[in-house]
Amino acid sequence: MLRGEETRRTVLRRAVEIASVEGLDALSIGRLATDLGLSKSGVFAGFGSKEELQLATIRAARRIFSDAVLDPIAAEPPGLRKLRLLCESWLAYSRARIFPGGCFFYEVNAEYDARPGPLRDALAANWREWHATVLGLLAGARDTGELRADADLEDIAFTLIAVLENANPQALLFDDHTPYERAHRAALRRLRADAADPDTPALRAD
């Protein structure tokens, strides 16, 4: 019986839109039902509780994010180029309003980062995953010898994520796309700062 799964998908498609703009708290069963021409109980039945609906919304958003940002660069071999492509991919994702509220996770992380519970746990897990991805690409670029062997990859990841994420609210708040260009320049600059000398052996000692 697949009709149920189909309905869940329909609901979640709308749910991620709403949550990316107004947050997970603004998700309401009744609103989703009227928006989609369903009954309240029909929407409710598909999830069993509001919290489960919110968790499912986070999972759905994770998939969309992964498709939009990670998939396009999956085939790229490790190295600095892959890292730069990731940054561009992320900026394009925020810029293209894949979620109408910009980056879904920027919105909901701010909403729940100070509220313990299953939702914050789920968001923390997603952040860790995203952070590990960036870190992995940085390690890749170090292993190819394009980044200095003694570079602090955690610090670089922190700055990269920071400048990318920060482009989002500024672009949304002012309906202005120049923050994306600043973020791009800032990311490239940070990578350049720890780039290895071109004639340094690939795996030099620290």
Partner DNA sequence: GGGATATTAGCACGATCGTTCGTGCTTTTT
Partner DNA sequence: AAAAAGCACGAACGATCGTGCTAATATCCC
Judged by beta carbon, residue 6 or residue 129, the one nearer DNA is: 6
Touching DNA, residues 33-72 (CB under 7 A): 33, 37-46, 49-51
Q: Which of 30, 100, 118, 136 binds DNA (CB under 7 A)?
A: 30
Residue 100 interacts with a copy of itself (CB under 8 A): yes or no: yes
- Smallest distance from a copy of itself to CB 48, Å: 24
* Closest distance to DNA from the beta carbon of 38 (Å): 4
Burial label, 147 (beta-carbon count in 10 A; 0-12, 13-18, 19+): buried
Q: Give one DSSP letter per residue of 129-176, joined into a string.
A: HHHHHHHHHHHHHHHTTSB-TT--HHHHHHHHHHHHHHHHHHHHHHT-
198 lines the binding site for DNA (CB under 7 A): no
- Shortest separation between residue 101's beta carbon and a copy of itself, angstroms: 4
Q: How far is the CB of 37 from DNA (least distance, A)?
A: 7
Q: Determine the residue type at 68.
A: A
Q: Does 77 bind DNA (CB under 7 A)?
A: no
3-class DSSP state for residue 189?
A: helix
DSSP state of 76: S
17: tokens are 């839109």
- Sorted by sequence, the CB contacts under 8 Å of residue 206 that are 6+ apart come out as 149, 150
Half-sphere exposure of 22 (CA within 13 A, CB side): 9
145 binds, among a copy of itself, DNA, none (CB under 5 to 8 A by kind): none
- Rounded to an integer, what distance in angstroms lies between the CA atom of residue 175 and that of residue 24? 23
Of 35 and 143, which has the nearer Cβ to DNA?
35
Which tokens in the block code for residue 41?
A: 């109980």
Name the one range near a copy of itself by CB under 8 A: 20-28, 31-39, 45-53, 198-206.
20-28
Binding-site residue total for DNA (CB under 7 A)?
26
SS3 25: helix
Q: Is 1 in the site for a copy of itself (CB under 8 A)?
A: no
20 binds, among DNA, a copy of itself, none (CB under 5 to 8 A by kind): a copy of itself
Q: Is 22 in the site for DNA (CB under 7 A)?
A: no
